[in-house]
Chains A and B, each alone.
Chain A
Amino acid sequence: MSEKGMQKRKWQLTIALLIIIAITYLSAAITNFNFMDGFAAFPEAIGWMFSNLFITQESLERLPTILDKLIETIFMSIAATTTAAIVSIFLGIMGSKTTSVNSLLSVFARFIASVSRNIPVVAWALILLLSFGQNSLTGYLALFVGTVGFLTRVFIESIDEASPSAVEALTATGATYFHIVNKAVIPQSLPQMISWILFMIETNIRSSTLVGILTGTGIGYTFDMYYKSMNYNAVALVTFSIVLAVIIIELMSNYIRKVIM
């Protein structure tokens, strides 16, 4: 690199750093964030966690209730992801350049995906709560909508990448549109899609805790109850059980990914 290029790069770097510092300062001001307090709070908080968040005999007695809710949450995430995946496959096929039937449908699919993905899950949860009330279906639907948005986007990418050249070849043999989708596009992109579905199940278990807190369902509600009644041993147990569930599911999906890709 030339001397001048180096100098220019250095300038750019300095300006970028200055802008970042300015934005950080501004953000701290608007949110009343105090760096000193923040850093001081951290060790305190960790100390508090170690002295309060442990699992006791008494909290273990609540394990059956907690497990019950945890299983409900896992089922909710899986059901939301799988059903969303079915919808997303159709939207993905409509939206992808390789397989789209016409540009209007393609734009429609991308629009639906973008709106449902970018309206946060909490908004869907709050809206659905108003009329569906405090039950599993509310949480399920909130997760479902967000998942459709996300999966449609990644399915479109998977299909785009899959094998546009094979699509050309099959068209040239005189195969119909459905032959091509079914025999070339789906077989080629399926492993990628399954990988995304597994990823989304993990994500949804974590989001369903959030949705649960808002809609009063599943493990999120259980957490919220113990949290509000300051039963921190039970809080620890709930947190621990969620961690365990997420890690087990992650390990399983890593194994599946390794085999199918």
Chain B
Amino acid sequence: METIVKSTYIKRKKNGSISLRAGNKSKFVIRMTMITLFVLTIAGFLLFDYTGLEIRTAVVETASNLYAMFFKPALNHFTWAEALYQIGVTMGLAVLSTIIGAVIAFFLALTAAANLSKEWVTKVVRVIVAFIRAVPTVLWVLIFAIAAGLGSEAAVLGMLFHSIAYLVKAFSEAFEEVDKGILEALRAAGSGWWHVVIHGIIPSTFTYLLSWTFLRFEINFSVAVAMGAAAGAGGIGFELFMASGFYFDLNEVGFITYAILLIAIILEVFSTQLKNRYFPSSVRN
């Protein structure tokens, strides 16, 4: 090696060896985040309430339960036709909350998009959306169930909230990405606000809006299953709850799980294709 000249740029540790640390904030925060999560996880395991748990029997039993589910699926308490009908109900709930949600979200998103609305309106809408997102869907459904009485209305209204919150965010971001020039040209030609929306915003974002709506439908399908099981909203989720919690019939649980899995995977394949086609960069669910 050549002669070593003392360099002013080299950072050295106390013992004289060369430091490779850049000392930037980002690395520090990453490290702190990881350490914090690790500590909280350990604390979590120590704090858990393990009442009545016998881990060995539980694991063995779960294994045999899974075996009964996945290798011997069967229908015992209802027929194929009924199963299809219940899947239809779950799909129906998902469709209704998605479509009604999309329509409402469309109008709200117009008020939430920075290039179409006043600043304070945008802010207010965003705060409301953040609040709605923070309440779990199941709580919305249960609260609506007391207020509006049990039935598909309560389930759909409850599920609507999160759909709207999700779609408002997605839609308004799509609106904000519309080329400034298009809006400017329309405004220069003397178009009113609605004119700009109908001739500028909708044509240039329509495919995005449809894709986002479908992505939400995929999520809403699993939400509808969950609401059936946890909030008595009916459909295949409720049958799942009955099969496991009421009849203790694992073969039937297996059958229902397979049915849900099949539909979920089909929806996922569709939405992955949509994503790859319309959203080349990574997309948040």
Q: Does B17 contact A (CB under 8 A)?
A: no
Interface string of A24-66 (1 = CB under 8 A from B): 1011111111100110011011101100010000000000000
> Are A79 and B40 in contact, with the CB atoms below 8 A?
yes
Q: Is B91 an interface residue (CB 8 A)?
A: yes
Q: Which of A123, A136, A235 contacts B253 (CB 8 A)?
A: A123
Per-position binary interface string of chain B over residues 122-158, scored 1 when its CB falls under 8 Å from any chain A CB and 0 otherwise: 0000000011011111110011101111011110110
Determine, out of A97-105, A127-135, A163-171, A172-180, the stretch whose residues face the partner at the interface: A127-135
Closest chain B residue, CB of each to CB of A206: B136
Task: Indicate whether A214 sits within 8 Å of B50 (C-beta atoms), given known contacts A194-B33, A242-B139.
Answer: no
Partner of A130, one of B29, B49, B65, B222: B65
Query: Would B49 and A217 count as touching, CB distance under 8 A?
Result: yes
Question: Which residues of chain A are within 8 angstroms of B157 by Cβ–Cβ distance?
Answer: 38, 41-42, 45
A114's nearest neighbour on chain B, judged by CB, is: B265
Contacts of B149 in A (CB 8 A): 41
> Given B41, B85, B154, B244, which contacts A127 in the complex, CB threshold below 8 Å?
B244
- In the bound complex, CA of A135 to CA of B49 (Å): 6
Contacts of B285 in A (CB 8 A): 150
The reply on A121 being an interface residue by CB < 8 A is yes
A122 and B146 within 8 A (CB): no
Q: Mark B93-137, 1 if CB is under 8 A from A, else 0.
A: 101100100000000000000000000000000000011011111
- How far in angstroms is the closest Cβ of chain A from B137? 8
What count of chain A residues pass the 8 Å CB interface test?
86
- Flag if A78 contacts B44 (CB, 8 Å): yes
A250-B130 CB under 8 A given contacts A27-B91, A28-B96, A137-B48? yes
Q: Is A112 an interface residue (CB 8 A)?
A: no
Q: Which residue of A lies closest to B258 (CB)?
A: A119
- Please name 9 further chain A to chain B contacts, defined as beta carbons within 8 Å, in addition to the given A75-B40, A120-B264, A130-B62, sorted by A numbering: A27-B96, A31-B89, A33-B156, A44-B148, A136-B49, A157-B282, A239-B139, A242-B134, A250-B134
Does the CB pair B134–A133 fall under 8 Å? no
Q: Which residues of B contact A206 (CB under 8 A)?
A: 134, 136-137
Q: Which residues of A contact B51 (CB under 8 A)?
A: 133-135
Whole-angstrom distance between the alpha carbons of A206 and B136 in the complex? Answer: 5
Asked whether A135 lies within 8 Å of B153 as measured between CB atoms, the reply is: no
Q: Complex Cα distance A167/B99, Å?
A: 44
Asked if A197 is at the interface (CB within 8 A of a chain B CB), the reply is yes
Contact A137 B282 (CB under 8 A): no
A-B contact pairs, 17 of them (CB 8 A): A31-B89, A31-B156, A45-B148, A49-B147, A72-B48, A120-B225, A123-B257, A130-B61, A130-B250, A131-B61, A132-B53, A132-B58, A133-B51, A137-B53, A197-B37, A199-B284, A242-B135
Q: Are A72 and B49 neighbours in the complex by a CB distance under 8 Å?
A: yes
Residues of B within 8 A of A91 (CB): none
**Cross-chain contact B234 with A135 (CB below 8 angstroms):** no
Kindly provide the distance from the CB of A50 to the nearest chain B CB, expressed in whole angstroms: 10
Q: Is A15 an interface residue (CB 8 A)?
A: no
Contact A247 B134 (CB under 8 A): yes
CA A134 to CA B134, docked complex, whole Å: 26
Q: Let me know if A213 and B260 touch, CB within 8 A.
A: no
CB of B44 within 8 A of CB of A34, answer no
What residues on A are CB-neighbors of B16 within 8 Å? none
* B225 engages A41 (CB within 8 Å): no
CB neighbours (8 Å) of B30 from chain A are 190-191, 194, 260
Cα A220 to Cα B230 in complex, Å, equals: 10
Minimum Cβ distance to chain A for residue B153 (Å)? 5
Query: Are B284 and A123 closer than 8 Å at their CB atoms?
Result: no
Question: Does B261 sit at the interface, judged by CB under 8 A?
Answer: yes
Q: Which of B47, B62, B153, B285 has the most CB of A within 10 A?
A: B153
Q: Would you list which residues of chain A between 102 and 161 have a CB under 8 Å from chain B? A: 114-115, 118-123, 126-137, 140, 150, 154, 157-158, 161
Q: Is A76 in contact with chain B by the CB < 8 A criterion?
A: yes
**Minimum C-beta distance from A38 to chain B (A):** 5
Give the one of B131, B229, B264 with max A CB within 10 A.
B229
- Is A225 part of the contact surface with B, judged by Cβ < 8 Å? no
| Other-chain residue from A24, A41, A49 in contact with B153 (beta carbon distance below 8 A) | A41
Return the CB mask of B201-223 against A: 1 if under 8 Å, else 0: 00000100010000000000010
